[in-house]
Amino acid sequence: MEKEDAIMEGSVNHPAAEKEANEPILNNESVKNKVSNQRNLGSIPDVLQEANTVNDRMDEQEKKISVDNSILHSGAEKSQVDTINEPGKENSLGESTSSSLLANKNEIDKPNLDQVLILGELESLKSGQQRSEAEMSGLIGKQTDCVKVDLKSPCKTDKNLNEVVYEEEAEPVFDGTEEPGMGVNRSLSARSVHRDSEAQGYVWPEKAVALTNFVRSKSTVAMSTVLRRLSGKSDDGQDVTAEEDKSKCFEKSAVASQEYETQAVSQKTAERTGWNPLSLIGILRDDTRNRLVETEVSPEAVLPIAMKGRIILYTRLGCHESKEARLFLRRKRLRYVEINIDVYPSRKMELEKIAGDSVVPRVFFNEVLIGGWSELKSLDESGKLSEKIEYVVDEAPSFEAALPPLSGEDDLSSSGSIDELAVIVKKMKQSIALKDRFYKLRRFTNCFLGSEAVDFLSEDQYLEREEAVEFGRKLAINLFLQNVLDENVFEDDNSLYRFLDDDPFVSQCQNIPRGLTEVKPKPIIEISSRLRFLSHAIFEAYASEDGRHVDYRSIHGSEEFARYLRITEELQRVNLKDMPREEKLAFFINLYNMMAIHAILVWGHPSGPMERRKLFGEFKYVIGGCTYSLSAIHNGILRSNQRPPYNLIKPFGVKDKRLKVALPYSEPLVHFALVNGMRSGPALRCYSPGNIDKELVESASDFLRDGGLIVDLSTKVAYVSKILRWFSVDYGNNEVEVLKHAANYLDSSVSQAMLELLANGQLKVVYLPYDWGLNN
């Protein structure tokens, strides 16, 4: 063994080996190790003897500029050589003969992927980590189960080649960046898991080489730029001598050559494993980008016809003909203003006055009554509707025409009794000087001392200091002020306190009202009811019938959305502690879905992983004196403070006040109800506390049966949404348990067949790519 280590040490580190690495042919070390891996030879002297013979023949190949097919004895490499010798024919990796020869010429100073792989194996042998002959042969011969390439037949690929489509996707970023390799895009249940792990180990050296080449090319460009700037030369080539110009051209050609090599390595790796290392830094292949962008244009995305007039559509919740009238006007590209008489009760009397009754739907072109859904169809079939459309396009509405909903119309958000505590706090904010202070080696902004607050309360309310302290604690309990470090409720000392809306985190929330609200906070049950009612109206008016598409443009300018914003301002000082489970589930699910729409309207649709991380983690509401992001609601409240995918920290700490609001146990079906504005998410709908469990089951069934879990019984493959992989801990301890749980929501025949395949270990699982595009 020591003799073999000495031979390997000399073959790797000898100066002659380093010299041969710069030759345009394979060096001795790579050939020796390659032959040893192909023939599974266990004796190092035999490997050297065989390598010398192969090296002599490769010298002849360089002189003849043609590859001798008798050099390599393995059938796979013989097929590759045959392919190279035939001009114009593509090799097994999809490259033409000319491009393959060019790549070989450019790879003078760089070993190929097989050399790096085999040298790595020799290093592991030298360090005492020997592999068996079966493992050595399997490392070279095996391909991943995702794609298998037949080297003997270059144009023939395995039937699973189309599965590469599902694996060329950059992994998402949730609240923390997902490390590459933490989760594989495709896994096999039961018997296939071990085979995938072996294949994944073979792929990693290729990934390392691709990333190394990319860093090398970028560092060359950066270094050349730095050298030019240090020498006083500009990047555009001014004041450059002929010699420097020649050097610059050489540098550019070298960089171009290295970039070509990087692209070739990346393409080979993607074709063999479906994994593109450059996608981790935002460089996606053009075909992948086009595949993700190409989607069917929804009717909501078509621009409406420009018109001077106004179309008013009177509707009410749950009316089927109202839905048909909406779809008809959208198909005709007619912009309309919807007035829901359930949302605006005062408009019911208006409709009765101008139409004679309150039957809906009713369509008005300016002041002209067109009629209901049946009248619209009749006019369209007779061809007379075009005349009406021309009228509303050319004529502006008269004073007799119905008006769109007015700001604050029939809104109960600003109604209620005056809060006397809020009036006192408003005067208190005007009297106490708010300063930035240092406390316990930290700087706190907009703070005041507890003694200063006691002085004001004693003078303003004519109270003794003990009574003033009790009054201050009452203000803190009602969430008007709080200790900066949450050390106490309120004391008459030098402790620092801050008004709630002066907190740096609370002030950044999106539902902070302008100024202090002087109306008493309403019960959370009442606010939840109004939020649910308004969400139902918004989803019905501005979302498609199946809930898969949302008209964000119309929502943004609607009075319903303005009312929603006023409702969210009431959440600042509500009490969430005594909410029942069903009420809490419905409230936070509906709030999450509307909050995601609000985030997209304010910040726009996230274009990448980091933007999604910001959207989910930094867009916040203040609810009951605490801040809640989308992730905090999802993982902290609804999942009972479970870690988000690919994160190591839970949303709420032990001393976090929000932990008392979280559900006692995780609710796994919420993943099929939360809509984050992405195309691969579930359908948008409204949830009520009385039927929350039944509605969650229906949402899970609709999502899984509508593409979330597709079972191909002929090929024994299950195509599964990545939601089941990201949140698999909520469904079971392993993949089989997760699929068994999901089978409960499928059709009985499909479910039974899938369970039988799972029991026999014959079901393969392919996780579908998640489409992060906007669901508009």
SS3 sequence of 668-688: HHHHHCCCCCECCCCCCCCCC
How far is Cα of residue 680 from the mean position of the Cα atoms in its chain? 10
Residue 753 belongs to a domain: no
Same domain, yes or no: 579 and 679:
yes
Q: What is the pLDDT of residue 514?
A: 77
* CA-wise closest residue to 377 among 332, 338, 340, 333: 332
Highest mean pLDDT among 35-49, 199-213, 261-275: 199-213
Same domain, yes or no: 687 and 558:
yes
pLDDT above 70: residue 356: yes
Q: Which of 34-48, 148-162, 641-655, 697-711 has the lowest mean pLDDT?
A: 148-162
Per-residue pLDDT of 243-301, as tens digits, reads 444 444 444 444 444 554 445 444 444 443 333 333 333 333 333 334 333 444 444 44
* CA-wise closest residue to 742 among 774, 711, 773, 775: 711
CATH classification of the domain holding 359: 3.40.30.10
Q: What rounded mean pLDDT belongs to the chain? A: 75
Same domain, yes or no: 574 and 642:
yes
Q: What is the pLDDT of residue 549?
A: 95
Grade residue 118 by pLDDT with cuts at 50, 70 and 90: very low
Same domain, yes or no: 530 and 644:
yes
Q: How many CA atoms within 13 Å lie on the side-chain side of 382? A: 10
How far is Cα of residue 188 from the mean position of the Cα atoms in its chain? 24
Spatial distance between the Cα atoms of 515 and 640, rounded to a whole number of angstroms? 34
Q: Which residues pair with 157 in a beta bridge?
A: 149
Contact 237, 245 (CB under 8 A): yes
Among residues of the chain, what percentage have pLDDT more than 70? 61
Compute how many other C-beta atoms are within 10 angstroms of the C-beta atom of residue 270. 21
Same domain, yes or no: 485 and 534:
no
Spatial distance between the Cα atoms of 288 and 271, rounded to a whole number of angstroms? 13
CATH classification of the domain holding 428: 1.10.10.10
The sheet with strand 186-188 has its strands ordered as 186-188, 764-767, 717-720, 709-712
761 phi and psi angles, rounded to 5 deg = 70, 30
420-431 and 450-460 are packed helices; what angle lies between their axes, rounded to 10 degrees? 120
Same domain, yes or no: 495 and 536:
no
What's the predicted TM-score (pTM) here? 0.65
The SS3 call for residue 437 is: strand
Q: How many CA atoms within 13 Å lie on the side-chain side of 224? A: 20
Same domain, yes or no: 557 and 641:
yes
Residue 293 belongs to a domain: no
Q: What is the pLDDT of residue 515?
A: 78
Same domain, yes or no: 561 and 609:
yes
Q: Which residues of 61-88 are buried (b: 16+ CB within 10 A; e: fewer)?
A: eeeeeebeeebbebeebbbbbebbeeee
Full DSSP string of 33-74 = HHHHHHHT---HHHHHHHHHHHHHHHHHHHHHTS--TTS--S
Among residues of the chain, what percentage have pLDDT more than 90? 55
pLDDT above 90: residue 91: no
Per-residue pLDDT of 740-774, as tens digits, reads 999 999 999 999 999 999 999 999 999 999 999 99
Residue 418 DSSP symbol:
B
Same domain, yes or no: 633 and 700:
yes
Residue 745 belongs to a domain: no
Which two structure tokens, joined as six digits, stand for 338?
């919807």
* CA-wise closest residue to 722 among 708, 741, 732, 736: 708
Tokens 């809930």 identify what position? 547
Give the residue from 706, 724, 742 where a domain finishes.
Answer: 706
Same domain, yes or no: 578 and 449:
no
Q: What is the largest CA-CA distance in the chain?
A: 107
Residue 69 belongs to a domain: no
Spatial distance between the Cα atoms of 183 and 72, rounded to a whole number of angstroms? 38
Residue 296 DSSP symbol:
P
Residue 227 belongs to a domain: no
Identify which has the larger pLDDT, 469 or 14: 469
pLDDT above 90: residue 434: yes
Residue 259 belongs to a domain: no
Grade residue 577 by pLDDT with cuts at 50, 70 and 90: confident
Residue 237 belongs to a domain: no
Grade residue 578 by pLDDT with cuts at 50, 70 and 90: confident
| Inter-CA distances, 543 with 299, 365, 700, Å | 11, 23, 19
Spatial distance between the Cα atoms of 163 and 359, rounded to a whole number of angstroms? 54
Backbone angle region of 267, left / alpha / beta, with phi > 0 → left and psi within -120 to 50 → alpha: alpha
Number of domains forming the structure of the chain: 3
Per-residue pLDDT of 135-151, as tens digits, reads 444 433 443 333 333 43
Same domain, yes or no: 596 and 475:
no
Spatial distance between the Cα atoms of 704 and 448, rounded to a whole number of angstroms? 55
Per-residue pLDDT of 459-514, as tens digits, reads 999 999 999 999 999 999 999 999 999 999 999 999 999 999 899 999 999 998 87
311 phi and psi angles, rounded to 5 deg = -110, 125
Residue 18 belongs to a domain: no
Spatial distance between the Cα atoms of 265 and 115, rounded to a whole number of angstroms? 13
18 phi and psi angles, rounded to 5 deg = -65, -35
Domain, as residue range, for 496: 420-502
The SS3 call for residue 710 is: strand
CA torsion sign, 539 to 545 to 548 to 552? negative
276 phi and psi angles, rounded to 5 deg = -110, 110
Same domain, yes or no: 663 and 559:
yes
Contact 352, 441 (CB under 8 A): no
Give the residue from 679, 706, 733 where a domain finishes.
Answer: 706
